[in-house]
Amino acid sequence: MPDALPASATRKVPAGTLYRGREGMWSWVAHRVTGVAIFFFLLVHVLDTSLVRISPEAYNDVIATYKNPIMGLGEAGLVAAIVFHAYNGIRIILVDFWSKGPKYQRVMLWVVMGLFVVTMAGFLPRHLMHVFGGE
């Protein structure tokens, strides 16, 4: 029996798995990095929102800094991180629960990138217009 093993089962170097190397891995790294970044943003964000309990002036002063161009670019980056994490998160869920998910995981990563570009193309011009005062 053992000598009848197909060649693929005796190959020394493992073929790419869902996670190791290639797209499956960098999308996983990007999912981690964006998840942590959003988490730290959220800690600060709840603190800045809590200023509404101190006084209207305190809140308005801090929020005013969110409207300068540098913070405006930071918000764009944050939204990009969320949009990627969210769409890729749905892809992970489909890989896990949809019977054909593992087969299409690669295709779905391209769908994620496509939807990402479309969403950002809708969001960025409008946001930058608000921040840089066009209209």
Partner 1 sequence: MTTIADPKAPRPPKPRPARLTTRGNTELYGWVFMRASGVVLLVLIFGHLFVNLVAGEGVTAIDFGFVAGKWASPFWQVWDLLMLWLAMIHGTNGVRTIINDYAERDGVRLALKSALYLAFVLVVVLGTLVIFTFDPCPSGSPADLLPSFCTA
* Alpha-carbon span 135 to 130, nearest angstrom: 7
Q: DSSP readout, 48-64? A: HHGGGGT-HHHHHHHHH
Number of C-beta neighbours around residue 88 at 10 A: 21
* Alpha-carbon span 63 to 87, nearest angstrom: 29
Applying CB under 6 A, the span of 14-22, 31-39, 100-108, 115-123 interacting with ligand HEM comes to 31-39
Total residues contacting ligand HEM by CB under 6 A comes to: 20
User: In Å, how far from its chain's centre is CA 134?
Assistant: 28
User: In Å, how far from its chain's centre is CA 58?
Assistant: 32
Closer residue to ligand HEM (CB): 3 or 96: 96
Is 10 among the residues that bind partner 1 (CB under 8 A)?
no
The helix/strand/coil state of 88 is: helix
Is 126 among the residues that bind partner 1 (CB under 8 A)?
yes
What is the nearest approach in angstroms of partner 1 to the Cβ of residue 77?
13
CA distances from 65 to 68, 69, 75, 119 (A): 6, 9, 12, 26
Applying CB under 8 A, the span of 11-19, 21-29, 87-95, 103-111 interacting with partner 1 comes to 87-95
Judged by the rule CB under 8 A, the positions of this chain that interact with partner 1 are 1-3, 32, 35-36, 38-39, 42-43, 46-47, 49-50, 52-53, 55-57, 59-60, 63, 66-67, 72, 75, 79, 82, 86, 89-90, 92-93, 96-97, 123, 126-127, 129-131
Judged by the rule CB under 6 A, the positions of this chain that interact with ligand HEM are 31-32, 35-36, 38-39, 42, 45-46, 49-50, 75, 78, 82, 85-86, 89-90, 92-93
